[in-house]
Amino acid sequence: MNPESVWIFLAVLFLGGAIGFYAARRPRPSAVGAERVRGNYLAGVNFLVNEQPDRALEAFLRAAELDGDTVETHFALGSLYRRRGEVDRAIRIHQNIVARESLEPEQRGQASFALAKDYLRAGLLDRAEKILEPLAASGAHRMAAMRNLMRIYEQQQDWPRAISVFRELDKSGKAPQENAIAHYFCELAKAAHERQDLEEARTHLRAARAERRRFPRGALLRADIAIEQKDVALAERLLASVMAQDAALSIEVMPRLMRLARAAGADGDAVARRLVAARPDAGNEVAFAAIMADALDFPALEQLVRAFLAQDEAISGLVRAIGREPETLDARAVREVAVVLRRLAAMTARYRCATCGFSSINHFWQCPGCKSWDSQRPLLRFDLVAGLERGQPPA
Ligand SMILES: [Zn+2]
């Protein structure tokens, strides 16, 4: 028997035994019925032992038809199947429970919720949604149903409904992540911005700000609009606020700083210098971001990058290996080293989720692995070994 089946096998043996015991103690009619239930369970166990899971499932379902006391066993079986990833079987078990007419309302709620979880696991969001909506209206599974609905609306990018479920959860202090709602408004703002409806985009950004006053993603999106409209002072203030809040977000700020500097024309250098000066303690983060965004045209950034190259042991070692001194590289050489580093970085993960460890080359505000918001952190270093191991950088 495959080792995973051992768990189901043991659970069924235990629960089947409990049912036999329970059925034997029941004063109600049929000793014959109880006998048949037990017979079906034994047949089920037998099929499991012989690795015939579908026939085992049939036998368990037949037992369920005969006796109402098997409901708890079936819940246990269903959740075991789901945990093993055998979602189709879990669905059949839970559908079978839901289909019973003589079910207590509490058990019906439990079975519906279990079935919704099966559908979620199978990626059948529409079916899960249909079951969860009534459960979210009332009853013991209300909060859990709403939390699951919120995740479904996120995946469907149905932000208005995600917002309203979040608000319901928040009323009871049960919202899973307090930043989520500000991200929903940012998603709406981003979509409005993409179709050039700037008025609507700004309305959503104001709503995001009303939810979370200091919210970097909202500030970055608002800065995008300000740059487009050549409102240099506002864009600079917003980008400086993002840097002040989280130096690691320099990686998001830097490409915008370049666009802003272009929009500022002759003042571009001064804008860059002021933004860099906003975080004198974060030279490495800013230098890393400047290399990635190819922002070495600005003297303030070029200086930071030069210092960064000299203080990184692995990089300065490489520079010395080609016969140069990291401290005295000319502007062209600094630029060339930056190009190589950028190419290496394109081959390795640049972000990692602090919650689940999911890593990726692109940045996601919501981790694709664990669905947490704001959990991805940039890896602010060049992994020379990993980059080189993947072969030569593309030309
Ligand atoms: Zn994650």
Give the number of C-alpha atoms closer than 13 A to the C-alpha of residue 321, restricted to the C-beta side: 7
Residue 348 alpha carbon to ligand 1 centre in Å: 18
Q: What are 337-376's pLDDT values in tens digits?
A: 899 888 888 888 889 999 999 999 889 999 999 999 999 9
Q: Report every protein residue that has its C-beta within 5 angstroms of ion ligand 1.
A: 353, 355-356, 358, 367, 369-370
Residue 198 alpha carbon to ligand 1 centre in Å: 32
pLDDT value at 18 more than 60: no
Residue 203 alpha carbon to ligand 1 centre in Å: 30
The pLDDT score that the predictor gives to residue 219 is 97
Q: Give buried/exposed letters for 87-109 (b at 16+ CB in 10 A, else e).
A: bebbbbbbebbbeeeebeeebeb
Residue 134 alpha carbon to ligand 1 centre in Å: 30
Mean pLDDT of the chain: 85
Residue 146 alpha carbon to ligand 1 centre in Å: 21
What tokens appear for 168 in the block? Answer: 């319901």
Q: What is the mean pLDDT of residues 5-29?
A: 49
The pLDDT score that the predictor gives to residue 101 is 81
Is the CB of residue 217 less than 8 Å from the CB of residue 187? no
The pLDDT score that the predictor gives to residue 84 is 83
Residue 257 alpha carbon to ligand 1 centre in Å: 28
Residue 196 alpha carbon to ligand 1 centre in Å: 32
Distance between CA atoms of residues 94 and 71, nearest Å: 10
Residue 352 alpha carbon to ligand 1 centre in Å: 8
Q: Is the model more confident about 18 or about 281? A: 281
Distance between CA atoms of residues 231 and 82, nearest Å: 54
Model-level pTM greater than 0.85? no
The residue ranges of DSSP E strands in the chain, in sequence order, are 351-353, 359-360, 376-378
Among residues 259, 243, 247, the alpha carbon closest in space to that of 294 is found at 259
The pLDDT score that the predictor gives to residue 249 is 93
Residue 376 alpha carbon to ligand 1 centre in Å: 7
Query: 3-class SS at 169?
Result: helix
Which of the four pLDDT bands, split at 50, 70 and 90, describes residue 394? very low
Residue 316 alpha carbon to ligand 1 centre in Å: 34
The pLDDT score that the predictor gives to residue 105 is 86
Specify which of 79-83, 172-176, 247-251 reaches the highest per-range mean pLDDT: 247-251
Q: What are 192-232's pLDDT values in tens digits?
A: 999 999 999 999 999 999 999 999 999 999 999 999 999 99
Residue 355 alpha carbon to ligand 1 centre in Å: 5
Could you name the CATH architecture of 1-122?
A: Alpha Horseshoe (1.25)
Distance between CA atoms of residues 114 and 94, nearest Å: 7
What tokens appear for 284 in the block? Answer: 């490495």
How, if at all, do strands 351-353 and 359-360 pair?
antiparallel
Residue 243 alpha carbon to ligand 1 centre in Å: 23
Q: What are 296-346's pLDDT values in tens digits?
A: 989 889 989 998 988 888 888 888 887 888 778 888 888 988 998 888 888
Q: What is the mean pLDDT of residues 163-177?
A: 91
Here the contacts of 120-127 (C-beta below 8 Å, separation 24 or greater) are 120/148, 120/151, 120/152, 121/82, 121/85, 121/87, 121/90, 122/87, 122/88, 122/91, 125/152, 125/155, 125/156
Is the CB of residue 177 less than 8 Å from the CB of residue 158? no
CA distance from start to end of the chain: 53
What tokens appear for 21 in the block? Answer: 């015991």
Distance between CA atoms of residues 112 and 91, nearest Å: 10
Q: What is the mean pLDDT of residues 75-96?
A: 87
Inter-CA distances, 184 with 85, 204, 241, Å: 31, 9, 21
